Amino acid sequence: MASPSVAVRRQVERLRDALIAEGDPKQAKALASILDNAEGVQEMAPSRLTISKTSLPGETLSPNTQVPVDRETSTPLAEIIFPRQINDQAPLFGPAITAAIKSLLEEWRDLEALARYDVAPPKTCLIYGAPGTGKTRLATWIAGQLDLPLVVARLDSLVSSFLGTSSRNIGTLFSFANRYRCVLLLDEFDSLAKLRDDPQEVGEIKRVVNALLQNLDSRKDVGLTIGITNHPQLLDSAVWRRFEIQLEVPRPDLAIRQDLTRQFMAPIDAPAAHQRLLAWLTEGATGAEIEALVRTYKRSLAFGGPEKIDLLDVFRHFATLHSGRISDEKKALVFGNQGELLLALHEAQDGKFSTAELAEITGRDKSTVSRQLAAAREKD
């Protein structure tokens, strides 16, 4: 694999896929990492689209490319993620965001058509929203869809530990990104804001912000730059203005929570009633929290088997171990009287749960559930 021919590489890829299909993920992973480290990865990656080399100039990044490091500590200033390492599955957002991202991708896919009209697609994009709402995943996915490597700069490591050398590091990082065809990701912008709260760092933060402004300007015509932050209000307004696109990622609503639950459940095909209940109970939660809940669900399946599972027990268990992640209202419901809970679900405004569904959820039969519902109604 030191310098594999196309045929050799294809064979190894086929072997890797066969191992995955036969349930030997460990060996498959070993092969995948050999493939990743081999030369010629970029050319080999199945082209999800081809941004032609003339419309996006620059050298091609390969796994052998030296990543710039901090001069004092030798810590890498960025991590590179290649398109083949990126999950193809699209993150899930509401229709407005999905459409906006789709149009951004379409513009990037046809740079030449835009060039004929002497326009360019937006090249700077700021994504902001609560932690765990899928911002990093979205940025990574965009790079994958554009078939470009992602150069991930962690601003926290770039700034915090190297006071005094941050501006130089920022310059080094940008020249690296400008030299290659890639998407530059500035994740966790907030780390700059943290610096600002420290009165001793006033000079430093000024230098860093200036370095960022200059470099963002110089990158304007080169390639796509994505910035991510949890605290947009703390961003310097001059930095904020530099971004052509400012995309707020909200917490998922009920419909998206259901889609997320389904996506995270794979390969398990959980009963629809279970998925619906998980989505219903996670009001106000983020994608990351739903992912954690689904993991708990899968663990209890692994131990209990599908016929023994009481979804409400699973949920109580999760809510106890992750008390900050579930709304107080839903917690009060699931830890309260079981009959009242069933009645609340049966009469829920945003999607009623039928007796059959409640039976599926509690692992009891329908007549038991009907009795519990009747008793709860009587108490009302």
Ligand X SMILES: Nc1ncnc2c1ncn2[C@@H]1O[C@H](COP(=O)(O)OP(=O)(O)OP(=O)(O)O)[C@@H](O)[C@H]1O
Q: Could you list the residues that contact ligand X (CB under 6 A)?
A: 91-93, 131-137, 230, 260, 286-288, 291
| Of residues 230 and 355, the one with the C-beta less far from ligand X | 230
CB of 330 to ligand X, least distance (A): 19
How far apart, in whole angstroms, are the C-alpha atoms of residue 85 and residue 130? 26
Min separation Cβ 372 and ligand X, Å? 35
Under 8 Å between Cβ of 249 and 129:
yes
The binding site for Mg ion (CB under 5 A) comprises 136
Minimum distance, C-beta of residue 363 to ligand X, in the bound complex (Å)? 28
Which residue minimizes CB distance to ligand X? Answer: 287
As measured in angstroms, the least distance from the Cβ of 131 to Mg ion is 7
Indicate the residue type of 266. Answer: A
149 or 252, CB closer to ligand X?
252
| Helix, coil or strand: residue 154 | strand
Shortest CB 187 distance to Mg ion, Å: 6
Closest approach, Cβ 39 to ligand X, in A, equals 30
Q: Are 38 and 1 in contact (CB under 8 A)?
A: yes
Binds 291: which of Mg ion, ligand X, none (CB < 5-8 Å by kind): ligand X
* Cβ 109 to ligand X shortest distance, Å: 22
162 contact, one of Mg ion, ligand X, none, CB 5-8 Å limit per kind = none
> What are the tokens at 342?
């069933």
Cβ distance to ligand X smaller for residue 38 or 326 = 326
Question: Closer CB to Mg ion, residue 78 or residue 281?
Answer: 78
Instruction: Answer with the entry of ligand X, Mg ion, none that 107 interacts with (C-beta below 5 to 8 A by kind).
Output: none
- Smaller CB distance to Mg ion: residue 85 or 136? 136
Nearer to ligand X by Cβ, of 83 and 132: the residue is 132
Closest CB 49 distance from ligand X, rounded Å: 21
- Partner that binds at residue 149, options Mg ion, ligand X, none, CB closer than 5 to 8 Å by kind: none
Residue 109's binding partner among ligand X, Mg ion, none (Cβ under 5 to 8 angstroms by kind) is none
CB 121 within 8 A of CB 220: no
CB 146 within 8 A of CB 225: no
Chain centroid, CA 71 distance in Å: 31
Task: Supply the minimum distance, in Å, between the C-beta of residue 352 and ligand X.
Answer: 26
For 100-127, give the DSSP string. Answer: HHHHHHHHHHTHHHHHHTT-----EEEE
From ligand X, Mg ion, none, which one binds at residue 91 (CB under 5 to 8 Å depending on kind)?
A: ligand X
Beta strands 124-129 and 245-249, pairing class: parallel
Out of ligand X, Mg ion, none, which partner does residue 288 contact, by CB within 5 to 8 A per kind? Answer: ligand X
Q: Tell me, what DSSP letter sits at residue 229?
A: E
Secondary structure percentages of the chain, helix, strand, coil, to 5: 60, 10, 35
Nearer to Mg ion, 110 or 156 (CB): 156
Residue placing its CB nearer to ligand X in the complex, 70 or 188: 188
**b/e code 277-297 from CB counts within 10 Å (16+ = b):** bbbbbbbebbbbbbbbbbebb
**Contact partners, residue 355, CB within 8 Å, separation at least 6:** 346, 366, 369, 370, 373
Length of the chain: 380
**Tokens at 86, concatenated:** 């990126």
Residue 134 or 339 with smaller CB distance to ligand X: 134
Partner interacting with residue 164 (select from ligand X, Mg ion, none; CB below 5-8 Å by kind): none
Amino acid at 214: Q
| Residue 131 binds which entry of ligand X, Mg ion, none, CB below 5-8 Å type-dependent | ligand X
Strand partners, 227: 126, 186
- The answer to whether 138 touches 153, Cβ cutoff 8 Å, is no
Residues 6 or more apart from 15 whose CB is under 8 A from it? 31
